Amino acid sequence: MTPIQLLCASLACSIVAAFGSLLLSRAENWAISFAGLGGLVAAVLGGVAGASVLSGAPLVLDVAGPFSFAHFIIRLDALSGLMVLVISTLAAVASIYSFSYVREYGGRGVGPMGFFFNLFVASMVLVVVADNAFWFLVFFEMMSLASYFLVIFDQDEEAVSAGFIYFLVAHAGSVAIMAGFFLMANAAGSLDFAAFRATHPSALVASIVFVLSLLGFGAKAGMIPLHVWLPRAHPAAPSHASALMSGVMIKIGVFGILKVSVDLLGGDVLWWGIAVLALGAISSVLGVIYALAEHDIKRLLAYHSVENIGIIMLGIGTGMIGIATHHPLVAMLGMLAGLYHLINHAIFKGLLFLGAGAVIFRMHTKDMDKMGGLARTMPWTSACFLVGALAISAIPPLNGFVSEWFTYQALFAAALDGTFLVQFATPIAATALALTGALAVMCFVKAYGEMFSGLPRSKKAEQTTEVPAPMIIGMVLLAAACVGLGLAAPLVVPVIGGIAAAILHMPPASFANGVMVLPGDPAHTLLSTPLLAVLLVGLATVPLAISAAFSGSRANRRQAAEPWACGYLPDAHMTVTAHSFAQPIRMFFAPLYAVRRTAAAASEGIERQFVKLVSLARRGEPMLDRALVGPSISFVGGVGKRLQILQSGALSTYCLYIVAALAILLLITLR
């Protein structure tokens, strides 16, 4: 089968799984199995299709649409293939995870959950392969609606409120994207992206389109200041859906920015790259600062999605600067860094959301202050979450370290050989990235320590057990991918570099050799993640081995003793809480938290005004009925009753009606 045929088969499986789950709603076990198995098969087929086009010429399927302007065009190229592969990978793991996790929602509509989950996956795939603006917008709306219904699935007050904010921001973003596409269609005379690529609009029109796409897709990506929906919507959704929303859906926002600014418009305007770079720096720093203050584990992870979107935008922005300043190395390094971190974030953020979902599955709370000591009772979940925490904190040799290291290299390369504005902006962005990395380490020390270390801080934490095998398998697969994408960087980099080259229409550059990764100047940028792993393992094990050898030869060993706690027996209440751990940061960045409170109050105010508007409409509706609809119905009913006189039931009378009608028609004809 060709990649296009595999992709179509994948989409067909997703649709069948969605509607099959809905039809089997009353048989919940069958619905869960059907949705999960269908989603897994669809994801495998989609992953193979995406991987098949990472190198080579784009593949296009063009089918006549219902309207002349709406050709149904699917384009599988290097960038869309990468996105399909990432979406499918995370969807496959989430489908495996769902076999056990979704049973927690028994009696609450697991059939509709499977329907919206599989529809969500299919719509994301269709968005990234659509090559016509009309169908792109249709599938973009489908993706937003499917994820909206997953957000409000619990139907509690918080979920419905979060869903409303998400719905509002998502559709405001869609309007901005639509306006940008219409401007380009007006210049190109077609809604096909191929026509957009061949058209060169004026500088003013191109800049307006860029700003509209940055706002529209930036809202979907969750970049600051358009992030208000994200820390509320992601925690409200079921955890396997949260993993997809945070791991891949928000990347479609980045994909959109990259597609419009670079693929469709060329990306050769310097201030575009500077704008993306600046928004990335702001999002990365503020995202991690806001995450530090959270007690809710899923809100903490959601804010870290804002942070990592910022890091991806740092790479993409640097690549756009390289395009505008005609520096191929900077352009390649920036795109490589952004795409690598896009993949890595999908993997480790998916892992962390699944790990958080496993804890919530057992604890039935998102509050980290009520957990503690779970490493003893949930060892598999603890180990996998630790791998994800190390990866997102950019600890070598895991995958997060490699992509952030490439981002630094791109920023340094731009700073060393660029205009004054570039030399001013890129060191500030590198400083923001360094601050982000330090605060991320602090945040995940807090998160892992609060949840898995120390003593249990509640009865529920003492009585937890490990989650079922499908959930463990899902987490282990993603943890292995975090390790693999880090250790196998010399093998992964050439593939992603080829994708970056295809986006930039440049010949592929060599950034790896054997077990070495060497962006830019090999004399100053050599890195070997396999060697780094060996050294780190040796650094940890050699001292322990020496210590064990010497301690084994001693005749008298120290006896184990209870830890000393100022004369008191250790107690769970003595442990550091999430609030106390982050207190110094909260004090230092108090003005930034004040800004967040102000923004939250503004969004709540908008929500309250909307509720008042709905209430007013509900009160006004009966008035309209009484004044207009009611009298109209009464009039029509009265006329109908009078006309019923003509319906006597006698056949002779009906014959008379026919003769009279014929006579009248004859008179009209003779005239």
Helices (H), 505-629: 522-525, 529-553, 578-588, 590-624
The DSSP secondary-structure symbol of 371 reads -
Asked whether residue 173 carries a pLDDT value surpassing 80, the answer given is yes
pLDDT (0 to 100) of residue 378: 93
**132 phi and psi angles, rounded to 5 deg:** -140, 135
- Least confident range from 21-35, 91-105, 151-165, 330-344: namely 151-165
- pTM recorded for the entire structure: 0.85
CA distance 302 to 233: 9
pLDDT at 492 over 80: yes
Distance of alpha carbon 400 from alpha carbon 618, whole angstroms:
51
Q: Is the pLDDT at 617 greater than 50, yes or no? A: yes
In the predicted model, is pLDDT for residue 360 greater than 70?
A: yes
Nearest to 217 by CA among 506, 209, 67, 445: 209
Residue 549, phi then psi, degrees to nearest 5: -65, -45
Please give the mean pLDDT across all residues of the chain.
86
Q: Is the pLDDT of residue 605 over 80?
A: no
Residue 11 and residue 126 in contact, taking contact as beta carbons nearer than 8 Å = yes
The yes-or-no verdict on residue 70 having pLDDT over 90 is: no
In this structure, which amino acid lies at residue 42? A
The mean pLDDT of 141-146, rounded to a whole number, is 94
| Other C-beta atoms lying within 10 Å of the C-beta of residue 628 | 10
Span 468-482, mean pLDDT? 95
CB 192 within 8 A of CB 132: yes
Are 89 and 342 within 8 A, CB to CB? Answer: no
- Contact predicate 181/70, CB 8 Å: no
Region of 294 please: left (phi>0), alpha (psi -120 to 50) or beta: beta
Please compute the mean of the pLDDT values over residues 295-301 and round it to a whole number: 90
Residue 609 has pLDDT above 90, yes or no: no
3-state SS of the chain: helix, strand, coil percent to 5?
80, 5, 20
Least confident of 34-48, 389-403, 650-664: 650-664
Q: Are 429 and 337 a contacting pair, CB within 8 Å?
A: no
Res 163 pLDDT > 70? yes
Q: What angle do CA 129, 212, 163 make, to 5 degrees?
A: 75
Q: What are 83-120's pLDDT values in tens digits?
A: 999 999 999 999 999 999 998 888 888 889 999 999 99
Q: Are 403 and 409 in contact (CB under 8 A)?
A: no
Instruction: Check: CB of residue 146 under 8 Å from CB of residue 116.
Output: yes
User: Residue 555 pLDDT more than 50?
Assistant: no
% of the chain with per-residue pLDDT over 90: 52
Confidence of residue 664 (pLDDT cuts 50, 70, 90): confident
pLDDT for res 468: 93
Place of tokens 């002779």: 652
Higher pLDDT, 649 or 322: 322
Q: Distance (Å, rounded) from C-alpha 124 to C-alpha 136?
A: 10
- Domain locations along the chain: 267-537, 590-670
The pLDDT value given to residue 568: 64
